[in-house]
Structure 1
Amino acid sequence: MDKEDLKWYYNPTTGEVTQGPEGGWDERMGPYDSREEAASALAVAAERTKAADNYDEKDDDWGVKPAWDK
């Protein structure tokens, strides 16, 4: 048995959690070490997206107004 067959995956289209890579790569999130981690894949992705957006927003603030905003 391959090591990847023991990992867990989440299918965002169906909401199904499976053990082992089922379906195409574009139909699954993972791999995760546990079923619980895979089940919370969308929540984790949303948190990471929000953190990245906040980082980008902070990075965009150089403390100087753009020329068209004066």
Structure 2
Amino acid sequence: MAWWYNHKTGEVEEGPQSLGGDRYGPFASREEAERAPETLLRRAAEWEADEREES
């Protein structure tokens, strides 16, 4: 089963329950989905750093 993080409600969903534009995922576990906001911020910072290095 996959887990999703609904960024509008801040809740974790077992399986895709809300609109695709309202959720992030899939994640392999409930714990990973709960950490979605932190994971996304970290990835965004990594992508930004990579883009700065490439230019």
Same fold (TM over 0.5): yes
1:7 aligns with 2:24: no
The normalised TM-score by structure 2 is 0.92
Pick from 18, 29, 34 the counterpart of residue 34 of structure 1.
29
Higher strand share: 2
Give every structure 1 segment of 4 or more consecutive aligned residues whose post-TM-superposition deviation is greater than 3 Å: none
Q: CA deviation at 1:27?
A: 0.8
Match of 2:17 in 1: 22
Highest RCO, 1 vs 2 (Cα 8 Å, sep ≥ 6): 2
- Root-mean-square deviation over aligned CA pairs: 0.7
Equivalent residue number for residue 47 of structure 2: 52
User: Amino acid of the residue matched to residue 54 of structure 1?
Assistant: A
Which blocks of at least 5 consecutive residues in structure 2 are unaligned?
Answer: none
Q: Partners of 1:35 and 1:18 in 2: how far apart?
A: 8
5+ residue gaps in structure 1? 1-5, 61-70
Percent of pairs with identical residues: 35
Supply the distance in 2 between the matched residues of 1:56 and 1:33 (Cα, whole angstroms).
28
Counterpart of 2:33, as a letter, is: A
In structure 1, C-alpha distance between the alignment counterparts of 2:29 and 2:43, rounded to whole Å: 19
